[in-house]
Structures are given as structure tokens and as C-alpha cells.
């Protein structure tokens, strides 16, 4: 515990908090001690400040270029051996609220009536069928997504894939004013609690008993990824490299574009590889951090981790990831959530590396503008559930798409497009106002569509719009 460096005031705060938390019967003893531990570390101010002059660019040994990975054996029996050591874990704690959905984000339809979860299941089923292996799927839910997910996975009961669900921890929100748990203030509903970020995946795996069960079946590595990243598919070359080189942890990074300047990056620091997040960067270096010249890569949150190493580090309480304070308001009460991120754990594992992967392994759907990309002719869907980019597009980067608030919710977005436009030759699209798209529309180059206030602007069926600003029907 970090109490050794606490001021007398903070020691009192922590001890009062501890007795308050002891009375919360909604959570386990593991959750209580994990929470108190996190708050103790936060109060002791152990935030690590990075000394800018010590930062070094990682070498190709530490961040391995994807093309340097050894080719795979052609022998299917060798591939089966690799896959038999693997577990796939999707972070499934997020709700689709930002896109106007209720329930887990992973059940938003992506393409052809299939959800994120349908595609993930299809992919693993195809691997298991092809190689005769048993790769299980684990879903880490939060208390927000747990009940819905249990109902949803019932539909996969007859598939050739084992699906396990477990919950990440549930911690009480802290009332900023007096540092008491919000549920003790009478707010005992869901608003009183929060899931403490995906850094919790490691203790949650151990506490749920899932880790020991996987080790007992001979599993060695877990591939962890966000459930909304359509590019996060099993990559045997990476798995093979980790097993050959005894790397306990691998973070997939990919080259930064201007859209990713805030993403965390890998650095060499005091002889270790570690994740540098924008929150840790001194103000005077933020622009340097955002530049694509010095920090060329960012974290995709596709992580490969050795299961035995997770067990060793969790049991030793050695995973002290940077704490991310997240202030919120619940019914005008100011509260604090303390969270951690799984990527920050990289520095605690032996022989940890990054792999600089192609951009195709990072295809997250965070907003309806991303949904437009993956539903368009820019991508196709294979029978195995893989979303593949259309080779007909010559530009290696995707078009930038900005949709106004009228398109923010999935239902509104789908209602405003009779069909998703063809965007193979599109560079950028910006849409504002009350705009509706007909079917079979083609967009090319730079297109801006801005409906005047109070005016409904309809793009007719079959329209081809290239390098144009459209403010009314007369511009089409």
C-alpha cells in the first residue's frame, strides 16, 4: 500500500473511506481492496512525471516492424499448435450511448445485418473449423453490459466456439467534496458506480477464476482488443514471434496520421519500453508529442499478453499502472473516477515489445462517421467475418468524414441514407444541417454539403458529386 507517503489528512481520508467501503455489500472483498489500493496510490501523488530529456525513440528490436516477423510454417499442424495456446479476449464493457444506442456497443449492426459480436464469433469459428483447434472467446463486461451480453451470447450456443463472460471490477464513484463513496450518500443505483478502465482486465481475469481455468487447459497467450475495432483479428505471425522470443507482452502500434495525434505512443525510457500518453506530457512539449515527425506511431490497444506473466504480476500486486483521474457529475454532485489503461502495463512485463502493424489492423467504429466508412464500398465482408478494404482505392488513407449532429445517433444516420454512397474516390466529406441522401449516390474528391438553417436538403438518387460545395438543390 502507498499509505507510507500520505499526509495525516490523507491518511484520515483513506481510513474513513475504508470503513465506508467496508459496508458496501454490492461488491466483493477483492473489489474493495483493489479500490482502496487505487485511491491510496492516487492520494500519495505517485504520478510519475516523465523527464523529457530521457525519452528515446525505440529501436527495431523493441518496436518490431511487421515485415521483420518470421514467415509462418506452411504446415497446418504447426498452426494448430500455435492456436491451441491462444485465447481471444474482447473488451466489451462499453455502452453504445454516444451513438444513441442502449445496451452493449458490440451489438450495433456493422454490415449485412451483422453486429461486431457476430463478426468476432464468425472469425473465431472459421479458425477453429479450419485448423481443428479450440480458441475460446472471452468477453470482459462491465456491470453496465453484463446482463444484456448474457442474453445475446445465447444465440451462439450451437457454434463451435466456447464463449466465456466475466465482469470487470465495480468501484464506487468518489464524492469530490468529502471523499466519500457515492453509494453511501443514498445513490445506490448504477450511477453510484463505475468500471475502472480496461487496465482492470488483468486483476479481473485472475479474480474471476478465468485465468487459472485457461492455464489448466494449456493456454499461454491472450489477445486483448476493443470489441469495436474491426481490424483486430487473430494474427499468427505476431503470436509465433512472441512464443519464439519469449515476449511476455506485445502492443500493436501503427503509423500516426493527423487524426491520431493524441494517441499514446511507445518510448524507450530508462532502459524499458513504456507507453507515453498525452496526459503525462509536460505542457511545453505537447506540440512535439502531437507531431508526426518525432512520435511516428500510436497504440491501437491490440495487446498480446502471456497468461502466466499476468498471474505472477497480479499476485505480486506489481501492476501499478498510471492512474487516470476522470471527473464527472452525477445529479449535480461532483464525483471522481480513478481508472487505469491496459497499455500502461507494458513496462512491468519481461521482454515486452511493440509490433508496428499495418493500418488495416486498426479500424475502430467510434462514431457514425466510422460506420459510414465500413458500410460503404470502401470495404467488403468475407464469409469468415473479416472486413477487407477495397483494393480499387488507390489512396492508402481513408477519406475524412465529418457528419453533423443530425447524424450522431445510429437510427438517425441510417434514416438519412437510402443507401450508403460510393466513396472509393472520396478525399473528404463534411455534412451539416438537415441533409438526406438518396440511393446510389457517388461522392468524389472534396465534398461539402451544408443545408441552410430550416431547409431540408435532399441529394437525389444516383447523383454524382465531385469536388463541390453544396448549399441548396441548385448546386447539385
Q: CA-CA distances (angstroms) from residue 326 to 279, 323, 334, 366, 455?
A: 12, 9, 11, 19, 40
* String of DSSP letters for 373-407: HHHSTTEEE-TTS-EEE-TT--SSSPPEEEE-GGG
Q: How many CB atoms lie within 10 A of CB 30?
A: 14
Does 272 appear as a known binding residue? no
Q: CA-CA distances (angstroms) from residue 239 to 158, 263, 287, 350?
A: 28, 24, 35, 16
* String of DSSP letters for 301-351: EEEEEEHHHHHHHHHTT---PPPEEEEEEETTEEEEEEE--GGGGGGGSTT
CB 441 within 8 A of CB 422: yes
Task: Give the length of the chain.
Answer: 476
C-alpha cell at 116: 461486431
Does 350 appear as a known binding residue? no
Does 56 appear as a known binding residue? no
Q: CA-CA distances (angstroms) from residue 218 to 55, 305, 350?
A: 38, 15, 21
Beta strand extents in 205-323 (DSSP E only) = 221-226, 249-255, 265-269, 272-276, 297-306
- What residues contact 229, with CB distance under 8 A and at least 6 apart? 300, 301, 302, 362, 363, 364
Does 130 appear as a known binding residue? no
C-alpha cell at 431: 455534412
Does 271 appear as a known binding residue? no
Give the three-state DSSP class for 268: strand
Does 197 appear as a known binding residue? yes
Binding residues: 105, 168, 197-198, 228, 366
Binding residues for substrate: 198
Binding residues for UTP: 105, 168, 197, 228, 366
Amino acid at each position: 500500500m502507498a499509505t507510507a507517503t500520505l499526509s495525516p489528512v490523507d491518511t484520515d481520508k483513506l481510513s474513513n473511506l475504508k470503513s465506508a467501503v467496508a459496508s458496501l455489500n454490492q461488491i466483493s472483498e477483492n473489489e474493495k481492496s483493489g479500490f482502496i489500493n487505487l485511491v491510496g496510490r492516487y492520494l500519495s501523488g505517485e504520478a510519475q512525471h516523465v523527464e523529457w530529456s530521457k525519452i528515446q525513440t525505440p529501436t527495431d528490436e523493441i518496436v518490431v516492424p511487421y515485415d521483420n516477423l518470421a514467415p509462418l510454417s506452411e504446415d497446418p499442424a504447426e498452426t494448430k499448435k500455435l492456436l491451441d495456446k491462444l485465447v481471444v479476449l474482447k473488451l466489451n464493457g462499453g455502452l453504445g450511448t454516444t451513438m444513441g444506442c442502449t445496451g452493449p456497443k458490440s451489438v450495433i449492426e456493422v454490415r449485412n445485418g451483422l453486429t461486431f459480436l457476430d463478426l468476432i464469433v464468425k472469425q473465431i469459428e472459421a479458425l477453429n473449423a479450419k485448423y481443428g483447434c479450440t480458441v475460446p472467446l472471452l468477453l470482459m463486461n462491465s456491470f453496465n453490459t453484463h446482463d444484456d451480453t448474457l442474453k445475446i451470447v445465447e444465440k451462439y450456443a450451437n457454434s463451435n466456439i466456447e464463449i466465456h463472460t466475466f465482469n470487470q471490477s465495480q468501484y464506487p464513484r468518489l464524492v469530490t467534496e468529502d471523499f466519500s463513496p457515492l453509494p453511501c450518500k443514498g445513490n445506490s443505483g448504477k450511477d453510484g458506480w463505475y468500471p475502472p478502465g480496461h487496465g482492470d482486465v488483468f486483476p479481473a481475469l485472475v479474480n474471476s477464476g478465468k485465468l487459472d481455468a485457461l492455464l489448466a487447459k494449456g493456454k499461454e497467450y491472450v489477445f486483448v482488443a476493443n470489441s469495436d475495432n474491426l481490424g483486430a483479428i487473430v494474427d499468427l505471425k505476431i503470436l509465433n514471434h512472441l512464443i519464439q522470443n519469449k515476449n511476455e507482452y506485445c502492443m500493436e502500434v501503427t503509423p500516426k496520421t493527423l487524426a491520431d495525434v493524441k494517441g499514446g505512443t511507445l518510448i524507450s525510457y530508462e532502459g524499458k519500453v513504456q507507453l507515453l500518453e498525452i496526459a503525462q506530457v509536460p505542457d511545453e512539449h505537447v506540440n512535439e508529442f502531437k507531431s508526426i515527425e518525432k512520435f511516428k506511431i500510436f497504440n491501437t490497444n491490440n495487446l498480446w499478453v502471456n497468461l502466466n506473466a499476468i498471474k505472477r504480476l497480479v499476485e505480486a500486486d506489481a501492476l501499478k499502472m498510471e492512474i487516470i483521474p476522470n471527473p464527472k457529475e452525477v445529479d449535480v454532485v461532483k464525483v471522481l473516477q480513478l481508472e487505469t489503461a491496459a497499455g500502461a502495463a507494458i513496462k512491468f512485463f519481461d521482454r515486452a515489445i511493440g509490433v508496428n502493424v499495418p493500418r488495416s489492423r486498426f479500424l475502430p467504429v467510434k462514431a457514425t462517421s466510422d460506420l459510414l466508412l465500413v458500410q460503404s464500398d470502401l470495404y467488403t465482408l468475407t464469409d469468415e467475418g473479416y472486413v477487407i478494404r477495397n483494393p480499387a482505392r488507390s489512396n492508402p488513407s481513408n477519406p475524412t468524414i465529418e457528419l453533423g449532429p443530425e447524424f450522431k445517433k445510429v437510427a438517425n444516420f441510417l434514416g438519412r441514407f437510402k443507401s450508403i454512397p460510393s466513396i472509393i474516390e472520396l478525399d473528404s466529406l463534411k455534412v451539416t444541417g438537415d441533409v438526406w441522401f438518396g440511393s446510389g449516390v457517388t461522392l468524389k474528391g472534396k465534398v461539402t454539403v451544408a443545408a441552410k438553417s430550416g431547409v431540408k436538403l435532399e441529394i437525389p438518387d444516383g447523383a454524382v458529386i465531385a469536388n463541390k460545395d453544396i448549399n441548396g438543390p441548385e448546386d447539385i
